[in-house]
Amino acid sequence: MNRGEHGTVTGRAARLSAIAAAVIAAVLASIAVGGVTATSAAWTDQTYASATVSAGTWPALGSCTAMTAASVPVGTCTITAMTYDAWGPKNKHLRNVYLTFQVSAPASTSYIAVQADLSAATVGTDTSDGPWSWATAVTLPSSQFTPTSTCAALPLVTGRTVAGWNWADSPRVFFSLADSSSAYQGQPSCR
C-alpha cells in the first residue's frame, strides 16, 4: 500500500481497499441469504457404463410357440428342460438332444415351433472322447424334430416338432447331432 508521510493510506490504495471490502461483503451477504447457486461446466466428458442384468426372466434355453394344425399360435409354450447324452470316439461324436416342453393348451397343440441354444443343454451322460466341435456339427434326420436353420448356425437351432404329438402325456422330443461327417451315414437334416 502507498502510505503518506504519516502512515495513512493514499487515495488510490484506499479506493482499491474499499472495492475489495465491498465485493467480499456482497459475496458474504449473498451466501447468507442463499443467493449463490452451484455452477457446472459448460461441457461434459463422454463416459461409458455397463451393468449385469439381474432382474426379470430370460429364456436361457430358448423359446417355443405352440401351434395348431393350421399353423396358428395357441396358448403358451416354455422349454422346461434341454439335456443331451453323448458318446463316440474323438472327432466322431454323437449326441441325442432331449427337449421338454410345457404347453398351456396341449389338446389344441399340433406341433411346436422351436428356437433353442443347444450349448445351454445340460449333460445327461457323456462317454465321448475329446471335445465336441460346434464348427463342424450337424443335425441328423429325426421323426420327432425337423430343423429349419442352417448347420452353420449351430449351436443355435430353429425348427419344429412332429405334428399330432400327445403333448399332455409326452411333452419331450429328441433328435441327434454329430460333430463330424465321419460320425454318421447319410445326409444331415440341417441345411
SS3 annotation, 99-126: EEEEECCCCCCCEEEEEEEHHHCEEEEE
Query: What is the arithmetic mean of pLDDT over 64-69?
Result: 94
pLDDT computed for residue 191 by the predictor: 83
Distance of CA 106 to the CA centre of its chain: 30
Full-model pTM: 0.68
pLDDT computed for residue 60 by the predictor: 81
Query: What is the arithmetic mean of pLDDT over 122-145?
Result: 95
pLDDT bracket for residue 29 (50, 70, 90)? low
Handedness of CA 137, 92, 175, 189 (dihedral sign): positive
Strands 111-117 and 156-161: antiparallel
Query: What is the arithmetic mean of pLDDT over 105-113?
Result: 92
Strands (E), 62-164: 62-67, 77-87, 94-103, 111-117, 122-126, 138-139, 145-147, 156-161
**Helices (H) then strands (E): counts for the chain:** 1, 9
Query: Does the pLDDT at position 125 exceed 60?
Result: yes
